[in-house]
Amino acid sequence: LAHTEDSAVQAPLHLAAARAAATAGDYSTARDHASTATMALDDLGDEVQAGRAAAVHASVLNQLGENAAAVAVAERRWDALEDRDDAGTALLDLAAVLARAHMRLGDFDAMAVYTERMLLLAEGSNDTTALATALLRMGTRYMSIGAPAAARVNYEAAAKLAREHDLLDPLAVALLNLASQYNSRDLAAALRHAREATEVARRTGDQPNIDYAIGNHLIAEWQTGELVSHDGLLGEALETATDPSIRATLRTLQVWLAEATGEPVLEFDDDYLTSTDDQGLLAWQDSADITRALVDGDPARAASIAAVSITRLHSAFRIDDDFCVLWPPLVLADRKSTRLN
């Protein structure tokens, strides 16, 4: 970039830099490069490549917990390209991020629309990676409507497809989704999938995958009680994790662990987000706040937080996935409060 002023050369370089920064977990840098690439490609009149750059921009906003902004960036490009025969790859990128962003907002119906489009686009283009990713999204959709067996079939199909074609990224995501599903059903299976997900994610070099795999691994360790003796893993994860959602999860696990072992329960202002619309992230932060309130001897405040958090929790996970991990603290807050029946 420093050696050229030709916008036709700079635009793809900015896009490549955005993708590299996102893979490394440097989301602010990725956002800036993706936005610049999109504007440059617009100026060059390349709507299709501008759509792909916008998909990267939206994906980074999604990682930062700015999901409504991600939808705003991506949907405009989707609408502009939807009827074009030469925009299949861009539409595939946009459908993937729109499905994910709507999921993070708790709008599973909108997520289903884009997941189905992604599935059809992947089938039409013979893109195996995209097909595996679409199967994963479809699994999450089934989970949201109360069909966990169908969800598991999709996760396992995505994992099988990824193994057959040596696709590490979708394999890591499939394994961590299976770990998350088994957290409330079979803890031995959850740990087994979580450990493999962590190993595979580290082989990808993709920081978001690594963060989510380690996060699910540590949740499984908490569920089994092993995190108490493996608390060093939590400290190591906090040193490397960059995803805001996972950092919220890790900080909450840290609060739970401190409360369980009689250690001081600390505040983590640097990792506390108030500007996010990520319902799952907010639910995890709420759980840490509930634990702090109970430790402080203020069950009324804990119950007040819980009354708000249950809506976020259900919006993010329905009654599966992390719901089963975050539900018990809400019940405890309710039972300890003298204000609620």
Give the CA dihedral 175, 18, 242, 101, nearest 10 degrees. Answer: -60
Two tokens, residue 240: 């490397």
pLDDT 10s digits, 11-39 = 999 999 999 999 999 999 999 999 999 99
**Residue 318 Cα to chain centre, angstroms:** 15
Q: Is the C-alpha dihedral spanning 202, 216, 226, 224 positive or negative?
A: negative
Q: Are 337 and 303 in contact (CB under 8 A)?
A: yes
Which of 192, 152, 191 is CA-nearest to residue 174?
152
Which of 102, 97, 120 is CA-nearest to residue 112?
102
Q: Is the C-alpha dihedral spanning 231, 275, 284, 186 positive or negative?
A: negative
Q: Which amino acid is at 149?
A: A
pLDDT 10s digits, 125-180 = 888 999 999 999 999 999 988 899 999 999 999 999 999 999 999 999 999 999 99
Query: Which stretch of DSSP H or E encloses residue 204?
Result: helix 187-204
pLDDT 10s digits, 230-288 = 878 899 999 999 999 999 999 999 999 999 999 999 887 788 988 899 999 999 999 99
